[in-house]
A and B are shown apart, each in its own frame.
Chain A
Amino acid sequence: MELLRDPDADLVAACRRPESESFESAFEQLFSQYRERVYAIAFRVVGNAVDALDVVQESFALVFRKLHSFRGGSLFSTWLFRIVVNCSIDHRRKRDAAWGPMSTSDTAQDVVDESPTPGDCAETKEVGDQVQAAISQLSPKLRAILALRYLEDMSYEELAATLGLSLGTVKSRLARAHLALESVVRTRFPHLDSSTAAPDSVGGVG
């Protein structure tokens, strides 16, 4: 079997030497390349922009601190997303333990978007809030697997590698996530069904 070369291998190698001149450039490239995807996954798991940005910071800091222990057994992106998912779930658990589970109205209030919102933008934001509210009904693990599956378009094998699960567990968890979210969407947010909530109509991150 031919092993594919990690497209980020050179940047990762440069980032392993913080004292070198190439570090900052490599860091900048990796950060710019992945920040929005990391943010989108974190947002879907933790449920609001402020916490999602905290998770982005924690995840990247952890990645660069632990980079010496990354042996290249998987793609850098797989390793990164695994850390992001773990940080997101931990963050969510800590917050829920400290403040209690976030309610739907809290989710909407915590979303940081203070720019002026004309009518159509307000409608889009409302749809986005409702989508997030629907997703927030799920457990962090189910949210994480859905985010990786649809935001990152990961295959079942990639999901298994990223989450450190067997293929059977991935399929089981994915099926449970689908059933749970479809149930929430169809009962509480029927207008978010596929006919009205097509991705192109509401935009998105990542």
Chain B
Amino acid sequence: MLDGVLERIIDASAGAVAGGLANPARPPVADQGWPNGLLDSPVVEAAVTGATSPPPGGAWTLLRHRILHDIGIGDAARVRRVRWLGLLAAAGIVCGAVLLANATEEAPTITFTDLATMPDVELSIVRHGALR
């Protein structure tokens, strides 16, 4: 508590003369004459960039879902996906129906008649002559 108060006083007075009294690390003029040792420390760098505990496996996936849920996007995305799947299913049904309709051929009409000569039409099977 007291540390926090002192910290706020020091921060607030960083640009004032009184700040120098409260903060022994602060030189008389705020932006000039800072010894590099006070602003860059290899000991501190080694400590700060040292080992941190990595998050447990799968944490990012779970976190991603939670964030999306927090901001109300998770449900909307699910609705959008369901909507798209519905549209795709409907399109598939329509395409299938069209293909099925095109694939259905009319039943051929069979006409029996006597032919004296070969008819001038394309037939897959022509039977020419008297029926047996």
Contacts and interface: CB of A to CB of B under 8 A. Distances in A.
A174 B25 CA distance: 10
Nearest to B73: A18
A192 B39 CA distance: 19
A172 B44 contact: no
Contacts of A19: 76
B43 A177 contact: no
B66 interface: yes
A150 B44 contact: yes
A175 B30 CA distance: 12
A57 B51 CA distance: 22
Given A19-B76, A172-B26, A179 B38 contact: yes
A168 B53 contact: no
B108 interface: no
A182 B44 contact: yes
Given A43-B53, A175-B38, A202-B51, A57 B63 contact: yes
Contacts of A27: 68, 73
Interface in A92-135: 111-114, 124-125, 127-128, 131-132, 134-135
| Chain A interface mostly | helix
Nearest to A20: B80
Interface string B30-54: 1100100111011111111111111
Given A53-B55, A128-B51, A132-B52, A177 B73 contact: no
Interface size range of chain A in the complex: 35 or more
A205 B48 CA distance: 11
A151 B25 contact: no
B128 interface: no
Contacts of B50: 127-128, 131, 192, 197, 199, 202, 204
Interface stretch (A3-11, A59-67, A72-80): A59-67
Nearest to B54: A205
- 10 smallest CB-CB distances across A and B, nearest first, come from A168-B30, A128-B51, A61-B70, A175-B38, A169-B14, A175-B25, A150-B48, A111-B53, A131-B50, A197-B46
